[in-house]
A and B are shown apart, each in its own frame.
Chain A
Amino acid sequence: MSKPVLQVDGLSMDFGGIRAMCELDLEVHQGQIVALIGPNGAGKTTFFNCVTGIYNPTEGNVFLNPPDGSKAIRLNGLKPNLVTEKGMARTFQNIRLFQKMTVLENVMIGRHCRTSSYIFGAVFKTGATRREERETVEKSYRILQKVGLESAVNELAENLPYGAQRRLEIARALATEPFLLLLDEPAAGMNPQETQELDDLIKRIRDEGHSILLIEHDMKLVMSLSDKIYVVDYGRKIAEGTPQAVSSDPAVIKAYLGEDIDA
Chain B
Amino acid sequence: MFSLEQLKKSLLVSLWFAFLTFPLLVIKVDPIERTVQWRWENMALVAVGSFLISLLVRLFFIHQERRRERKTVENLVERMPLMQLVLSEPRYLYPLSGAVLLCSLIFPFLFSTYQTNIMITALMYVMLGLGLNIVVGLAGLLDLGYVAFYAVGAYSYALLNYHFDLGFWMALPIGALLAALFGVLLGFPVLRLRGDYLAIVTLGFGEIIRLILENWNDFSQGPSGISNIPRPGFFGIELSLEGAILYLYYIMIAMVVFTIFVVNRLQDSRIGRAWIALREDEIACQAMGIDKRKTKLTAFALGATWAGMVGVIFAAKTTFINPASFTFLESAIILCIVVLGGMGSIFGVIVGALILILLPEYLRALSDYRMLAFGAVLVTMMIFRPQGVMANIRRSYQFKSNSEGDGR
Residues of A within 8 A of B (CB): 52, 54, 79-81, 84-85, 89-90, 92, 96-102, 104-105, 108-110, 112-115, 117-119, 121-123, 125, 129, 132-133, 136-138, 141-142, 145-146, 150, 153-154, 156, 172-173, 176, 208
Contact = CB atoms under 8 A, between A and B. Distances in A.
Contact of B287 (A52, A100, A145): A52
Interface stretch (B205-213, B274-282, B347-355): B274-282
B265 A101 contact: no
Contacts of B280: 97-101
Contacts of B265: 122-123, 125
B269 interface: yes
A138 B262 CA distance: 25
B48 to A, nearest CB: 43
Interface of B: 261-262, 265-266, 269-274, 276-277, 279-281, 283-292, 298, 302, 392, 394-397, 399, 404, 406-408
A255 B193 CA distance: 41
Contacts of B399: 141, 150, 153
B292 A118 contact: no
14 contacts: A84-B287, A84-B289, A99-B280, A100-B392, A100-B394, A101-B273, A102-B394, A121-B269, A145-B406, A146-B407, A153-B397, A154-B397, A156-B394, A176-B288
A105 B394 contact: yes
A96 B284 contact: yes
Nearest to B396: A154
A92 B289 contact: no
A150 B399 CA distance: 9
B397 A137 contact: yes
B396 A102 contact: yes
Given A100-B276, A112-B270, A145-B406, A85 B289 contact: yes
A113 B289 contact: yes
B290 A113 contact: yes
B273 A109 contact: yes
Contact of A122 (B270, B290, B292, B396): B270
A145 B404 CA distance: 9
B273 A112 contact: yes
A81 B404 contact: no
B391 to A, nearest CB: 9
B271 A119 contact: yes
Contacts of A101: 273, 276-277, 280, 394
Contacts of B283: 54, 80, 92, 96
Nearest to B289: A113
Given A98-B281, A100-B392, A119-B266, 13 more contacts: A79-B291, A80-B286, A89-B288, A97-B284, A101-B273, A102-B395, A112-B274, A117-B271, A122-B271, A132-B270, A136-B270, A141-B399, A145-B406
Given A54-B283, A123-B262, A112 B289 contact: yes
Given A98-B280, A118-B271, A119-B266, A81 B291 contact: yes
B304 to A, nearest CB: 14
A118 B269 CA distance: 8
A150 B407 CA distance: 11
Contacts of B291: 79, 81
B153 to A, nearest CB: 19
